[in-house]
Protein backbone atom coordinates (compact mmCIF):
# COMPACT_ATOMS: atom_id res chain seq x y z
CA UNK A 1 0.00 0.00 0.00
CA UNK A 2 1.27 3.40 -0.98
CA UNK A 3 2.18 5.95 1.68
CA UNK A 4 0.33 9.23 2.01
CA UNK A 5 3.21 11.19 0.52
CA UNK A 6 3.34 8.99 -2.57
CA UNK A 7 -0.43 9.20 -3.04
CA UNK A 8 -0.34 13.00 -2.89
CA UNK A 9 2.68 13.26 -5.18
CA UNK A 10 1.04 11.05 -7.77
CA UNK A 11 -2.01 13.31 -7.91
CA UNK A 12 -0.11 16.58 -8.16
CA UNK A 13 2.88 15.57 -10.26
CA UNK A 14 1.89 17.71 -13.26
CA UNK A 15 1.05 20.68 -11.02
CA UNK A 16 4.45 20.45 -9.39
CA UNK A 17 6.19 20.38 -12.78
CA UNK A 18 4.33 23.53 -13.82
CA UNK A 19 5.03 25.24 -10.48
CA UNK A 20 8.76 24.50 -10.84
CA UNK A 21 8.76 26.05 -14.31
CA UNK A 22 6.83 29.10 -13.09
CA UNK A 23 9.32 29.61 -10.25
CA UNK A 24 12.08 30.17 -12.78
CA UNK A 25 10.03 32.05 -15.39
CA UNK A 26 8.69 34.69 -13.04
CA UNK A 27 11.86 35.64 -11.24
CA UNK A 28 12.94 38.09 -13.97
CA UNK A 29 16.02 39.45 -12.30
CA UNK A 30 18.16 42.06 -13.95
CA UNK A 31 21.37 40.83 -12.32
CA UNK A 32 22.82 37.30 -12.44
CA UNK A 33 23.71 37.44 -8.72
CA UNK A 34 20.05 37.92 -7.81
CA UNK A 35 19.22 34.91 -9.88
CA UNK A 36 21.97 32.82 -8.21
CA UNK A 37 21.01 33.65 -4.64
CA UNK A 38 17.28 33.41 -5.30
CA UNK A 39 17.60 30.09 -7.11
CA UNK A 40 19.88 28.74 -4.41
CA UNK A 41 17.17 29.22 -1.82
CA UNK A 42 14.25 28.44 -4.16
CA UNK A 43 15.64 25.18 -5.49
CA UNK A 44 17.10 23.69 -2.34
CA UNK A 45 14.50 21.04 -1.70
CA UNK A 46 11.37 23.03 -0.83
CA UNK A 47 8.21 20.97 -0.86
CA UNK A 48 6.12 23.65 -2.64
CA UNK A 49 3.36 23.17 -0.10
CA UNK A 50 2.30 26.83 -0.25
CA UNK A 51 1.99 27.07 -4.07
CA UNK A 52 0.28 23.70 -4.13
CA UNK A 53 -2.27 24.74 -1.50
CA UNK A 54 -3.04 27.87 -3.53
CA UNK A 55 -3.48 25.98 -6.79
CA UNK A 56 -5.68 23.32 -5.18
CA UNK A 57 -7.76 25.93 -3.34
CA UNK A 58 -8.38 27.81 -6.58
CA UNK A 59 -9.36 24.63 -8.36
CA UNK A 60 -11.63 23.52 -5.51
CA UNK A 61 -13.53 26.80 -6.08
CA UNK A 62 -13.84 26.08 -9.79
CA UNK A 63 -10.96 28.17 -11.12
CA UNK A 64 -10.12 27.38 -14.72
CA UNK A 65 -8.01 30.40 -15.74
CA UNK A 66 -4.33 30.29 -16.56
CA UNK A 67 -2.82 32.54 -13.86
CA UNK A 68 -2.87 30.06 -10.98
CA UNK A 69 0.64 28.63 -11.43
CA UNK A 70 2.13 32.09 -11.88
CA UNK A 71 0.29 33.46 -8.86
CA UNK A 72 1.26 30.43 -6.80
CA UNK A 73 4.98 31.26 -7.02
CA UNK A 74 4.29 34.38 -4.96
CA UNK A 75 3.93 32.19 -1.87
CA UNK A 76 7.20 30.40 -2.54
CA UNK A 77 9.00 33.72 -3.22
CA UNK A 78 7.67 35.24 -0.01
CA UNK A 79 8.59 32.09 1.88
CA UNK A 80 12.10 32.16 0.34
CA UNK A 81 12.48 35.87 1.21
CA UNK A 82 11.66 35.15 4.84
CA UNK A 83 14.04 32.16 4.88
CA UNK A 84 16.86 34.39 3.60
CA UNK A 85 16.17 37.09 6.16
CA UNK A 86 15.37 34.74 9.03
CA UNK A 87 18.49 32.60 8.66
CA UNK A 88 20.48 35.80 8.82
CA UNK A 89 18.45 36.99 11.83
CA UNK A 90 18.87 33.65 13.59
CA UNK A 91 22.52 33.30 12.62
CA UNK A 92 21.62 29.84 11.27
CA UNK A 93 24.45 28.43 9.18
CA UNK A 94 22.69 25.45 7.69
CA UNK A 95 19.39 25.14 5.81
CA UNK A 96 18.12 21.84 4.42
CA UNK A 97 21.58 20.31 4.74
CA UNK A 98 23.32 23.09 2.80
CA UNK A 99 25.14 26.21 3.96
CA UNK A 100 22.70 29.09 4.56
CA UNK A 101 22.73 31.72 1.79
CA UNK A 102 24.22 34.43 4.02
CA UNK A 103 27.23 32.24 4.80
CA UNK A 104 27.96 31.96 1.05
CA UNK A 105 27.04 35.39 -0.30
CA UNK A 106 27.25 37.44 2.88
CA UNK A 107 24.60 39.48 4.68
CA UNK A 108 24.35 42.35 2.17
CA UNK A 109 23.39 40.28 -0.87
CA UNK A 110 21.12 38.11 1.28
CA UNK A 111 19.19 41.09 2.63
CA UNK A 112 18.82 42.64 -0.81
CA UNK A 113 17.80 39.48 -2.65
CA UNK A 114 15.18 38.94 0.07
CA UNK A 115 13.89 42.45 -0.65
CA UNK A 116 13.85 41.67 -4.35
CA UNK A 117 11.76 38.54 -3.77
CA UNK A 118 9.29 40.47 -1.60
CA UNK A 119 8.94 43.09 -4.31
CA UNK A 120 8.58 40.54 -7.13
CA UNK A 121 5.81 38.83 -5.15
CA UNK A 122 3.75 41.99 -4.99
CA UNK A 123 4.42 42.76 -8.67
CA UNK A 124 3.16 39.31 -9.69
CA UNK A 125 0.10 39.72 -7.46
CA UNK A 126 -0.61 43.12 -9.05
CA UNK A 127 -0.98 41.33 -12.39
CA UNK A 128 -4.21 39.80 -11.09
CA UNK A 129 -5.75 43.31 -11.06
CA UNK A 130 -7.32 42.30 -7.75
CA UNK A 131 -6.84 44.80 -4.95
CA UNK A 132 -8.14 42.41 -2.24
CA UNK A 133 -5.48 39.87 -3.26
CA UNK A 134 -2.71 42.47 -3.11
CA UNK A 135 -4.07 43.78 0.16
CA UNK A 136 -4.04 40.36 1.83
CA UNK A 137 -0.52 39.78 0.60
CA UNK A 138 0.77 43.13 1.90
CA UNK A 139 -0.80 42.57 5.32
CA UNK A 140 0.56 39.03 5.41
CA UNK A 141 4.08 40.29 4.71
CA UNK A 142 3.81 42.89 7.47
CA UNK A 143 2.52 40.24 9.88
CA UNK A 144 5.34 37.84 9.03
CA UNK A 145 7.99 40.42 9.83
CA UNK A 146 6.25 41.25 13.10
CA UNK A 147 5.99 37.55 13.94
CA UNK A 148 9.74 37.15 13.49
CA UNK A 149 10.43 40.25 15.59
CA UNK A 150 8.10 38.95 18.29
CA UNK A 151 10.01 35.69 18.33
CA UNK A 152 13.31 37.53 18.40
CA UNK A 153 12.18 39.58 21.40
CA UNK A 154 11.12 36.46 23.27
CA UNK A 155 14.38 34.56 22.81
CA UNK A 156 15.08 32.74 26.02
CA UNK A 157 12.00 34.29 27.63
CA UNK A 158 10.77 31.75 30.15
CA UNK A 159 7.51 33.63 30.56
CA UNK A 160 6.41 32.80 26.99
CA UNK A 161 3.19 30.86 27.40
CA UNK A 162 1.10 28.80 25.00
CA UNK A 163 -1.06 31.79 24.01
CA UNK A 164 1.96 33.90 23.10
CA UNK A 165 3.45 30.91 21.24
CA UNK A 166 0.28 30.57 19.14
CA UNK A 167 0.40 34.31 18.46
CA UNK A 168 3.98 34.04 17.18
CA UNK A 169 3.37 31.01 14.95
CA UNK A 170 0.14 32.51 13.62
CA UNK A 171 2.09 35.44 12.31
CA UNK A 172 5.32 33.84 11.25
CA UNK A 173 3.89 30.70 9.60
CA UNK A 174 0.12 30.29 9.56
CA UNK A 175 -0.74 33.62 7.99
CA UNK A 176 1.17 32.89 4.76
CA UNK A 177 -0.42 29.46 4.36
CA UNK A 178 -3.79 31.03 5.19
CA UNK A 179 -3.16 33.71 2.54
CA UNK A 180 -2.26 31.05 -0.05
CA UNK A 181 -5.58 29.23 0.43
CA UNK A 182 -7.63 32.42 0.72
CA UNK A 183 -6.06 33.95 -2.39
CA UNK A 184 -6.63 30.72 -4.31
CA UNK A 185 -10.35 31.12 -3.55
CA UNK A 186 -10.27 34.84 -4.44
CA UNK A 187 -8.57 34.07 -7.74
CA UNK A 188 -11.50 31.76 -8.49
CA UNK A 189 -13.89 34.58 -7.52
CA UNK A 190 -15.48 32.20 -5.03
CA UNK A 191 -18.37 33.33 -2.80
CA UNK A 192 -17.38 34.85 0.53
CA UNK A 193 -18.28 31.77 2.53
CA UNK A 194 -15.89 29.63 0.49
CA UNK A 195 -13.13 32.22 0.72
CA UNK A 196 -13.52 32.29 4.50
CA UNK A 197 -13.60 28.50 4.79
CA UNK A 198 -10.39 28.15 2.82
CA UNK A 199 -8.76 30.94 4.85
CA UNK A 200 -9.69 29.05 8.03
CA UNK A 201 -8.48 25.77 6.55
CA UNK A 202 -5.14 27.42 5.73
CA UNK A 203 -4.84 28.92 9.18
CA UNK A 204 -5.30 25.58 10.93
CA UNK A 205 -3.00 23.75 8.51
CA UNK A 206 -0.42 26.50 9.10
CA UNK A 207 -0.58 26.22 12.88
CA UNK A 208 -0.32 22.41 12.70
CA UNK A 209 2.52 22.74 10.20
CA UNK A 210 4.57 24.92 12.53
CA UNK A 211 3.82 22.73 15.55
CA UNK A 212 4.98 19.70 13.55
CA UNK A 213 8.09 21.64 12.56
CA UNK A 214 8.78 22.50 16.17
CA UNK A 215 8.30 18.83 17.12
CA UNK A 216 10.85 17.76 14.50
CA UNK A 217 13.43 19.92 16.21
CA UNK A 218 13.18 17.51 19.17
CA UNK A 219 12.37 14.24 17.47
CA UNK A 220 13.84 14.16 13.97
CA UNK A 221 16.76 12.26 12.61
CA UNK A 222 19.33 15.02 11.93
CA UNK A 223 20.44 13.49 8.64
CA UNK A 224 16.85 13.49 7.35
CA UNK A 225 16.02 16.94 8.76
CA UNK A 226 19.06 18.49 7.05
CA UNK A 227 20.09 20.46 10.11
CA UNK A 228 21.15 19.73 13.67
CA UNK A 229 18.25 18.90 15.97
CA UNK A 230 17.89 21.05 19.06
CA UNK A 231 18.60 24.20 17.01
CA UNK A 232 15.55 26.01 18.37
CA UNK A 233 16.66 25.44 21.94
CA UNK A 234 20.18 26.64 21.18
CA UNK A 235 18.75 29.80 19.57
CA UNK A 236 16.61 30.41 22.64
CA UNK A 237 13.37 29.69 20.78
CA UNK A 238 10.92 28.20 23.22
CA UNK A 239 8.38 26.07 21.39
CA UNK A 240 5.34 24.22 22.60
CA UNK A 241 7.02 20.96 23.75
CA UNK A 242 9.25 22.83 26.17
CA UNK A 243 6.63 25.48 27.09
CA UNK A 244 4.30 22.68 28.11
CA UNK A 245 7.00 20.86 30.06
CA UNK A 246 8.00 24.07 31.89
CA UNK A 247 4.38 24.60 32.78
CA UNK A 248 3.84 21.10 34.19
CA UNK A 249 7.25 20.50 35.76
CA UNK A 250 7.95 20.16 39.48
CA UNK A 251 9.78 23.12 40.99
CA UNK A 252 13.01 21.17 40.86
CA UNK A 253 12.63 20.05 37.24
CA UNK A 254 11.55 23.52 36.18
CA UNK A 255 14.75 24.91 37.68
CA UNK A 256 16.81 22.33 35.79
CA UNK A 257 15.10 23.32 32.54
CA UNK A 258 15.49 27.02 33.21
CA UNK A 259 19.18 26.70 33.98
CA UNK A 260 19.85 24.91 30.69
CA UNK A 261 17.65 27.25 28.61
CA UNK A 262 19.37 30.32 29.99
CA UNK A 263 22.91 28.97 29.73
CA UNK A 264 25.20 30.19 26.98
CA UNK A 265 25.87 27.14 24.85
CA UNK A 266 23.87 23.95 25.26
CA UNK A 267 25.80 20.69 25.23
CA UNK A 268 24.60 17.40 23.77
CA UNK A 269 23.98 16.09 27.27
CA UNK A 270 22.06 19.26 28.23
CA UNK A 271 19.86 18.67 25.21
CA UNK A 272 19.28 15.05 26.25
CA UNK A 273 18.30 16.28 29.73
CA UNK A 274 15.78 18.72 28.24
CA UNK A 275 14.40 16.04 25.93
CA UNK A 276 14.10 13.67 28.90
CA UNK A 277 12.16 16.26 30.89
CA UNK A 278 9.93 17.13 27.93
CA UNK A 279 9.07 13.45 27.62
CA UNK A 280 8.61 13.04 31.36
CA UNK A 281 5.89 15.71 31.31
CA UNK A 282 4.43 14.66 27.97
CA UNK A 283 5.41 17.79 26.00
CA UNK A 284 5.86 15.89 22.75
CA UNK A 285 2.53 14.13 23.02
CA UNK A 286 0.75 17.31 24.09
CA UNK A 287 2.11 19.21 21.05
CA UNK A 288 1.21 16.33 18.75
CA UNK A 289 -2.34 16.33 20.14
CA UNK A 290 -2.75 20.09 19.67
CA UNK A 291 -1.42 19.85 16.09
CA UNK A 292 -3.80 16.96 15.39
CA UNK A 293 -6.71 19.05 16.67
CA UNK A 294 -5.82 21.82 14.21
CA UNK A 295 -5.66 19.26 11.40
CA UNK A 296 -9.14 18.03 12.28
CA UNK A 297 -10.41 21.60 12.38
CA UNK A 298 -8.77 22.27 9.02
CA UNK A 299 -10.48 19.28 7.45
CA UNK A 300 -13.81 20.31 8.95
CA UNK A 301 -13.53 23.65 7.14
CA UNK A 302 -13.68 21.76 3.85
CA UNK A 303 -17.10 20.27 4.62
CA UNK A 304 -18.92 23.09 2.85
CA UNK A 305 -17.44 21.84 -0.42
CA UNK A 306 -18.85 18.74 -2.07
CA UNK A 307 -16.53 15.74 -2.25
CA UNK A 308 -14.06 16.03 -5.13
CA UNK A 309 -10.53 15.09 -6.05
CA UNK A 310 -9.36 18.51 -4.86
CA UNK A 311 -11.12 18.27 -1.52
CA UNK A 312 -9.57 14.85 -0.91
CA UNK A 313 -6.14 16.20 -1.81
CA UNK A 314 -6.51 19.13 0.58
CA UNK A 315 -7.55 16.68 3.32
CA UNK A 316 -4.54 14.51 2.55
CA UNK A 317 -2.23 17.51 2.60
CA UNK A 318 -3.55 18.42 6.04
CA UNK A 319 -2.81 14.88 7.25
CA UNK A 320 0.60 14.96 5.61
CA UNK A 321 1.65 17.79 7.90
CA UNK A 322 1.83 15.34 10.79
CA UNK A 323 3.66 12.52 9.07
CA UNK A 324 6.43 14.42 7.33
CA UNK A 325 9.95 13.75 8.51
CA UNK A 326 11.68 16.94 7.30
Site for its own copies, rule CB under 8 A: 29-31, 33-34, 85, 88-90, 107-109, 111-116, 118-120, 122-123, 125-127, 129-131, 134-135, 137-139, 141-146, 148-150, 152-153
Q: Helix, strand, or coil here: 215?
A: helix
Q: Output the smallest distance, CB 138 to its own copies, in A.
A: 4
Distance of alpha carbon 147 from alpha carbon 57, whole angstroms: 25
Q: Output the smallest distance, CB 120 to its own copies, in A.
A: 6
Give Cβ neighbours of residue 263 (< 8 Å, ≥ 6 apart). 270
Based on CB atoms, which residue is closest to its own copies, 152 or 229?
152
Cα–Cα–Cα angle for 11, 16, 18, rounded to 5 degrees: 120
Q: Output the smallest distance, CB 48 to its own copies, in A.
A: 23
Based on CB atoms, which residue is closest to its own copies, 95 or 288?
95
Based on CB atoms, which residue is closest to its own copies, 31 or 307?
31
Q: Output the smallest distance, CB 146 to its own copies, in A.
A: 5
Based on CB atoms, which residue is closest to its own copies, 34 or 314?
34
Q: Are 21 and 30 in contact (CB under 8 A)?
A: no
Distances (CA, A) of 82 to 19, 55, 213: 19, 21, 16
Radius of gyration of the chain (CA): 20
Q: Output the smallest distance, CB 36 to its own copies, in A.
A: 11
Based on CB atoms, which residue is closest to its own copies, 50 or 120?
120
Give Cβ neighbours of residue 99 (< 8 Å, ≥ 6 apart). 93
The closest of 42, 138, 149, 154 to 98, measured between CA atoms, is 42
Based on CB atoms, which residue is closest to its own copies, 122 or 228?
122
Q: Output the smallest distance, CB 34 to its own copies, in A.
A: 6
Q: Output the smallest distance, CB 86 to its own copies, in A.
A: 9
Based on CB atoms, which residue is closest to its own copies, 90 or 214?
90
Q: Are 113 and 37 in contact (CB under 8 A)?
A: yes
Helix ranges (DSSP H) in the chain: 4-25, 32-42, 49-60, 68-90, 101-126, 131-153, 162-169, 175-187, 192-219, 222-225, 231-234, 240-248, 251-262, 268-280, 283-301, 309-323
Q: Helix, strand, or coil here: 269?
A: helix
Based on CB atoms, which residue is closest to its own copies, 28 or 303?
28
The closest of 87, 72, 5 to 40, measured between CA atoms, is 87
Q: Output the smallest distance, CB 304 to its own copies, in A.
A: 28
Amino acid sequence: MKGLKEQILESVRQDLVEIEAALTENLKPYLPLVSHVAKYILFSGGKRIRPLLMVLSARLCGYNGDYDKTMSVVFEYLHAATLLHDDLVDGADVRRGNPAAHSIWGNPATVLVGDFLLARSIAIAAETDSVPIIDILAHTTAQMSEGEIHQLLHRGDLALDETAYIEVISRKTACLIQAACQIGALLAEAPEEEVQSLADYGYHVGIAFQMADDLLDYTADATVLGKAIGADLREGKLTLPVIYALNCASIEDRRRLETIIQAIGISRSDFQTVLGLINKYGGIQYTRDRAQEHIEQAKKCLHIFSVSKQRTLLEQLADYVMVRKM
